């Protein structure tokens, strides 16, 4: 199954900000895990004369992040919940990270925890998986390369899925498929009508499962869909881009972008 939603991480949009010692790469999951996982990623940084800026932006996803330089299997891995605003990290010491990026509507089957308990928080993997978390991390820290790490992770995640049958598609899962299909350019009222549920029922379901509102998730999906156009340069002007995503007020468009990215749109938009 090929997923229609592909978030764009900020390192891809502003490569000119990268110092020589900084590297960000993505790796595709196996076909079996593709409905659950956007990608695996690595981030490496070796310090030089300057600090390295690393911008984190909302993507509608959750992740497991492993610090490959950690001396503790119990403290090396944590789950990163859904983000609703940008965050900037400044690296000055060496970093080596491995991440698993999950689609929010499918992550619960693997994490075995409602995402509402994780939103806006970093929770140690051990607190969610118990001893299984540090055991997987121990294998990861002993691996020699990224390919070996991915094999370890895929084996573990496949085992979890085999032991925990995916429940019938939830209301949130179905909602997210509509959001992806419309690239977030949809009102909560329209979404509720398509699902034949009330807006109130929809909001309760999102709050219970994800810990944020359908309106917020629509905004994030729309933002990320627009970033895809920016990344591919598939737009003729910023005005046309705004109209494509339902913004008829340029100031509203600019304000939303700055809120999610943390920088003005014109500063990030690629120059043709």
What is the rounded (10 degree) CA torsion for 37, 226, 78, 172? -60
Q: Are 31 and 44 in contact (CB under 8 A)?
A: no
Write down the pLDDT at residue 226: 94
Write down the pLDDT at residue 50: 76
Q: Name the residue among 185, 180, 148 with its Cα closest to residue 35.
A: 180
Write down the pLDDT at residue 61: 94
Alpha-carbon distance 192 to 189, whole Å? 5
C-alpha pair distances (Å), 51 with each of 21, 41, 45, 133, 194: 10, 21, 10, 32, 48
- Decide: residue 94, CB within 10 A, 0-12 exposed, 13-18 middle, 19+ buried: exposed
CATH topology of domain 171-268: Arc Repressor Mutant, subunit A (1.10.10)
Alpha-carbon distance 206 to 210, whole Å? 5
Q: Where are the domains of the chain?
A: 10-163, 171-268
Write down the pLDDT at residue 1: 46
pLDDT tens digits for 183-240?
A: 999 999 999 999 999 999 999 999 999 999 999 999 999 999 999 998 888 888 889 9
Q: Which stretches of the chain drop beneath a pLDDT of 70?
A: 1-3, 49, 119-121, 165-169, 270-272
Residues ≥6 apart with Cβ < 8 Å to 159: none
Write down the pLDDT at residue 117: 80
């Amino acid at each position: 199954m090929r997923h229609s939603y592909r978030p764009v991480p900020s390192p891809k949009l502003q490569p000119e900000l990268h110092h020589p010692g900084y590297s960000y790469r993505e790796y595709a999951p196996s076909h079996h895990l593709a409905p659950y996982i956007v990608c695996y990623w690595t981030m490496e940084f070796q310090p030089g004369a300057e600090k390295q800026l690393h911008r984190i932006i909302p993507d509608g996803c959750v992740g497991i992040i492993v610090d490959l330089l950690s001396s503790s299997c119990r403290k090396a891995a944590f789950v990163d919940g859904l983000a609703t605003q940008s965050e900037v990290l400044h690296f000055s010491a060496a970093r080596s990270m491995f991440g698993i990026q999950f689609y929010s509507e499918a992550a619960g089957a693997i994490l075995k925890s409602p995402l509402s308990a994780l939103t806006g928080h970093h929770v140690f993997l051990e607190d969610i998986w118990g001893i299984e978390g540090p055991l997987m991390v121990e294998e990861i820290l002993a691996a020699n390369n990224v390919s070996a790490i991915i094999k370890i992770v895929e084996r573990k995640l496949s085992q979890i899925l085999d032991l925990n049958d995916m429940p019938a598609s939830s209301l949130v899962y179905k909602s997210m498929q509509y959001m992806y299909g419309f690239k977030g350019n949809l009102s909560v009222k329209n979404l509720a009508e398509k699902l034949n549920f009330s807006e109130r029922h929809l909001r309760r379901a999102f709050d219970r499962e994800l810990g944020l509102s359908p309106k917020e998730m629509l905004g994030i999906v729309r933002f990320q869909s627009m970033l895809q156009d920016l990344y591919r340069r598939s737009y003729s002007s910023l005005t046309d881009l705004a109209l494509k995503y339902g913004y008829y007020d340029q100031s509203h468009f600019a304000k939303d972008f700055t809120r999610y990215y943390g920088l003005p749109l014109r500063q990030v938009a690629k120059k043709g």
